[in-house]
Amino acid sequence: MEPIAIPVASAPTPTPSMPPPPLSVVAQPNESAHAGPSLNDARLYINREISWLAFNERVLEEACDPLVPALERFKFLAIFSSNLDEFFMIRVAGLKQQLSGHVEETGPDAMSPSEQLTQIAARTHELVARQYRALTTEIVPIVEKAGVRILSREKLAEKDAFLSEYFQREVFPVLTPIAIDPGHPFPHLRNKSLNLAVRFGTQTAARLHYGVVPVPAVLPRLVELPDEKGKRSYALLEDIIARFVGQLFPGMAVEGCYPFRLTRNWDLSFDEEEAEDLLVTIEREIRRRDRGGAVRLEISSAADSSLADFLVRSLKLGASDVYKIPGPLAIPDLLPSLGRLEQKELHEEPFTPVIPPALAEADRDIFRILHERDVLLHHPYESFDTVVSFIETAAEDPNVLAIKQTLYRTGKDSPVIRALQRAAENGKQVTALIELKARMDEEANILWARALEQSGVHVVYGLIGYKTHCKVALVVRREAGGLRRYVHLGTGNYNPGTARTYTDLSLFTANEEFCADASAIFNLLTGYSKPVSWKKMLVAPMGMKQGILDLIERETQLATQHGKGRIIAKMNALADPEVIRALYRASQAGVQIDLVVRGVCGLKPGVPGVSERIRVTSIVDRFLEHHRIWFFEAGGKREVWLSSADWMARNFVRRVEIAFPVVDPAAKERIIDEILASSLADNVKARALQSDGTYVRVHPGTHGTGLVPVRSQERFMALARRVAVVAVETPGTSSMAPHEMFPSVAQRRERKKRNNKRL
C-alpha cells in the first residue's frame, strides 16, 4: 500500500452557493491602525453551541448517505438522537438557567443566552425534520425490502388476536394509568421517559379531561409478531398500549392517545468543598436531579393541538421547546432489536481488531517487551485486549507490588475493575482513582467504587473542584535490578466497550522519566503532593495550557525567523479563545496549520489576514474519532504529543489532564506518516470548515487532497488486516516488534524524505 503524503494546509474553498460573508476586522483600541486586525473581534469566533449542532448535523449526514448500509444509517440516527438528548439535558438546560437567573454570560463570539436559544431551536427543528425524513422515506423502505417491517398503529388490526393476548399477559400487569384532575395533578415523569398522553371525551366526568400512561422501560420496545412467509414484523410497545388503552380507563371515552417524551435538566449541582462525603453527596444529587425542570417535549405529530397545549402548560415549556415527531420517538431504544437482524446487506462489513503478533504470543512477557522498546497501539484497529491483559498480567504476577490507575468511564462488567479487585485480593497495593463526576456515568462509578473498596482497593476521588480525566495506569514490579515501573498512557477510557468503536492511541513504556511523572500524578491525586517540575508531561490544571501556548509560540517564532512552520492537531474540540488567538497569530506569521477537529470548533479558517494558512476538517465515519494528537515541526525536530485533553477551557482549568511526547522514533514516524497523513488525506468522510461556520464534504482533488479516494478509517482497517495476514502466513513474524508490522525501516526513511519536502 503506497504511503500518503501529508497535504499542506491551504485556505478553504467556499462553495459557490454559500460564499463566506465579508469579515472586516478592526485594530484593537490600544493599537494603531497598521498594527494588524484585532484577534478579539467576535466575528472571528464560532459559537460553541452552534458549532456543536453543526457536528451533529455531520452525524445526520452519515444517516442520510445512501452509500452507507441501512442499519448503519439507522445507527447514526440513534447517535444523532442520543447526542441531542445530552445537548438539551446539559447545554440547553444551562442556557435556560442563565436566562431564568438573569445571567448574561457571553463567550468570545458575544452571543447572548437568548440569542443562542433562538438559533438552537430553529436549527434543531430543521435537523429533526431531516432526521425523520431520512428514517421514513429512505431507511424504513430499505429495511422493509430486506424483509423486516414495523407495523403502523393502523395496521395492527391484522394481528389483533395475538396482540390482545400479549397485552393481557405481558403488558397490562406492568402499566400504571394516571388520571389527571384537581385531586391528581400532573405527575412527575422521569427524564427521557416515554409516555402516552390520553385525552378523554366530554361525556366523561366533567373535570377529567386527560390521563397519562408511562410506557414501561422494563419491556421490549419492539414486539416481534408471528412470522409470516419469511418476513419479520414488529409492533411498537406504545402502539400496542394505545390500541388497548381503554381497558386501563374503564367507563371513560378515550378520544386520543399519543406518545410523548420529556427531556429534563440533568446536570449535577453541589458544593464539593461543603461535602463531608463526596460519594454520598453525589449519590443524593443523582436521586434529586430527576426533579430537574423540563427543557424539551417530543410528541407525536398526530397529536391534536389541545393535547400538546395541555402538556406544554403542565411542563412550563414554550412553543419552541415542542418537537412534533412524524415517527417513532426515542430512536435509540429501537437499536438493540434491529441491530440483531442478520441480513448482511443491512450492515457494514464486520471488522475484528487485531492483536499485534509480538504481544499475542503466550510466552511473550509484556514487561520484557517494554524493557526493549515502547509499544504504540492504534484502537480499535489494534485490540484493546492488550491493555486489559497488561492490567490482568500485573494482577497475577507475584513480582508486581503495586498498581495505580485512573478510571473515568469503564463500562459494564469491566474486566479492568475485576483485575484490580483480584490484584488487591492477591495482596498487592492497589490504588484506583475513580471520577465520580463523569457525566452520565456517576451511578456506575459509585457502584464500582464500593465494589473495589470491598476487595481492598484504596479508592480515591481526586482533587476537590476538578474532574480527573487523564488516562494513566502505573505498575511497580520487583526485578533483578531493583524496583522498576511500567506505565500505560492513553487518549481514551479504560472501557473495552467504547474501545471497539472509538479511535484512540495507547502508549506502553518503561521510560523512567514517563514513569516518574506518572508516579507524581498519583501522588498529586492522592496526597495533594505537587512536584517541583514535570520531566516529560504537560499536566492540567498546572501549566498544560501555557505549555500549548508556548509550543504554538515557538512555531510562530520559527516561522517569523525562517519563513517555515507547521502545526497539525487532531482533537475532539477546539474552543479556548487564547489558544485560538495563538493559532491565528501563528497563521499570520506564516505557519501552515491543519486542524482535524471532530466536534466543536470555535476557530474560523480562511479569514483574510488572520487565518489564511489554517485548514480545519472533521471526520465522521464508522468509528468515533477520539484521539488527541499534536504535531509541531519544531525546526526539523518534528515533535509529536498525545493527550487526554481537548483544547477547551474546561480541560485546562477544571480537569486533571495530561499530554506526553512520543519519543520512540518508530512510534513517532507511525503517527506522522500513517495516522496523521491518512487523516489529512481523507477525501471520503472528511468535511472542511468554511469561514462562515458551515461545513462542506471534501471530495478527491479538493482542499489539498489527492485525486485518489482515501477513506482514512478504511485504510487503517486494511493495514490492521494486512498485519493479521502477515502474522499467519509469514514464518518468524511472531517475534516482530509492533513498529515492524508496518512498512519497513527503509520504506519509512524514504517516506520521511518525501514528507519532509512536502511539509
- Residues annotated as part of the active site: 469
Grid cell of 546 as nine digits: 501555557
Instruction: Please answer whether residues 66 and 139 qualify as being in contact, where contact means their C-beta atoms are separated by less than 8 angstroms.
Output: no
Rounded (10°) angle between helices 442-454 and 415-425: 20
Burial of 562: CB neighbours in 10 Å, binned 0-12, 13-18, 19+: exposed
Instruction: Please answer whether residues 635 and 447 qualify as being in contact, where contact means their C-beta atoms are separated by less than 8 angstroms.
Output: no
Grid cell of 1 as nine digits: 500500500
- For residue 257, the cross-strand partners are 198
Distance CA 713, CA 443 (A): 33
Q: Which of 380, 450, 437 is nearest to 409 (CA)?
A: 437
Q: Which of 246, 254, 189, 249 is nearest to 217 (CA)?
A: 189
Burial of 587: CB neighbours in 10 Å, binned 0-12, 13-18, 19+: buried
Rounded (10°) angle between helices 70-86 and 48-64: 160
The backbone region for 482, taken as left when phi is positive above 0, alpha when psi lies in -120 to 50, beta otherwise, is left
Q: What is the DSSP letter of 184?
A: B
364-379 burial, b if ≥16 CB within 10 A, otherwise e?
eebbebbeebbbbbbb
Distance linking the first and last C-alpha atoms of the chain = 21
Burial of 83: CB neighbours in 10 Å, binned 0-12, 13-18, 19+: middle
Q: Identity (one letter) of the amino acid at 237? A: L
Distance CA 400, CA 395 (A): 7
Backbone angles phi and psi of 516, in degrees to 5: -65, -40
- For residue 594, the cross-strand partners are 568, 615
Instruction: Please answer whether residues 265 and 296 qualify as being in contact, where contact means their C-beta atoms are separated by less than 8 angstroms.
Output: no
Q: Which of 30, 48, 46 is nearest to 38 (CA)?
A: 30
Distance CA 654, CA 99 (A): 24
Query: Within a 13 Å sphere around the CA of 458, how many CA atoms are in the beta-carbon half?
Result: 14
Q: What is the 3-state secondary structure (H, E, C) of 431-456?
A: EEEECCCCCCCHHHHHHHHHHHHHCC
